[in-house]
Amino acid sequence: MSETAIPPIVDSHCHLDFPDFDGEHDAIIARARNAGVGRMVSICTKLSQEPTVRRLAETYDGVFYSFGLHPMSVGKEAPLTVEQIVQVARHPKMVGIGETGLDYHYTADTAADQQASLRLHIEAARQTRLPLIIHARDADEDMARILTEEFRAGEYSCVMHCFSSGPDLARAALELGFYLSMSGIAAFPRSTELREIFAAAPVDRILVETDSPYLAPPPYRGKRNEPAYVAKTAAVGAEVYGMSYADFARQTSENFDRLFWKVALGATA
């Protein structure tokens, strides 16, 4: 790679099917590629959206997808079965399970059902060997307990997407061999404590993401996020670890390939 080449990087979590991007996918993908983002995972959060997310992955080189039921949709959408998830996972560009998890911030009333849904997704991750993609908000204790219980019952791989929880959950996840994903939140000026949590984690367990269209990093905070902006979060990540941007981009891309092995094998459709 020449000295002037843009280091390649991965957006491990975005939502290209959301209406915020309607009619703009060609331009969004082009801007991502110009920023060095050659690969991205578009996350499906409900069964009804799976055909749309799948078509996006089939249309664009470097776009892959995951499938699951978001915890905030538990109780609103029909529950998934392990068999449904495993069936979708047969698609060559379906590379992860979720996002799933626990969210007690707005939807604590469905906590028991969310926990059941999480365990179901974990079983699908075991059967497919694909990484589990976890959403956790205001549920650190239950999340650490369930992930640990289930891992002891049968191993699986996992990324804590958009990690913004406390140090105890970070420690529990890392002890299980899981990964933490850095979003634009880690780049916010007031996120000092979160950056300290990341700094204490091994750099070979770190991914970067946008969670776009949400959580745009500075200087785009408050605006619509998009995959190209993962480079801004990665620049902050490089500072956290005292690395050059190129080295941090290379390391997080290697981490992504290790976890999302189906992408690394050259999955295409």
Q: List Cα–Cα distances, 256 to 91, 112, 140, 245, in angstroms.
A: 19, 31, 24, 16
Q: 161 labelled as ligand-binding? A: yes
Rounded Cα–Cα distance for residues 234 and 101 (Å): 25
Q: 105 labelled as ligand-binding? A: no
Q: Is the dihedral of CA 80, 49, 64, 15 positive or negative?
A: negative
Three-class secondary structure assignment of 42-106: EEECCHHHHHHHHHHHHHCCCEEEEECCCHHHECCECCCCHHHHHHHCCCCCEEEEEEEEEEHHH
Residue recorded with tokens 């892959």: 64
User: What angle in degrees, to the nearest 10, is found between the helix axes of 140-153 and 167-175?
Assistant: 10
Rounded Cα–Cα distance for residues 259 and 257 (Å): 6
The one-letter amino acid code at 164 reads S
**130: DSSP letter:** P
Q: 13 labelled as ligand-binding? A: yes
Rounded Cα–Cα distance for residues 180 and 158 (Å): 9
**188: DSSP letter:** S
- 128 three-class SS: helix
Q: 135 labelled as ligand-binding? A: yes
Structure tokens at 165: 């929880």
Determine the length of the chain: 269
Annotated binding site: 13, 15, 99, 135, 161, 211
Annotated binding site for a divalent metal cation: 13, 15, 99, 135, 161, 211
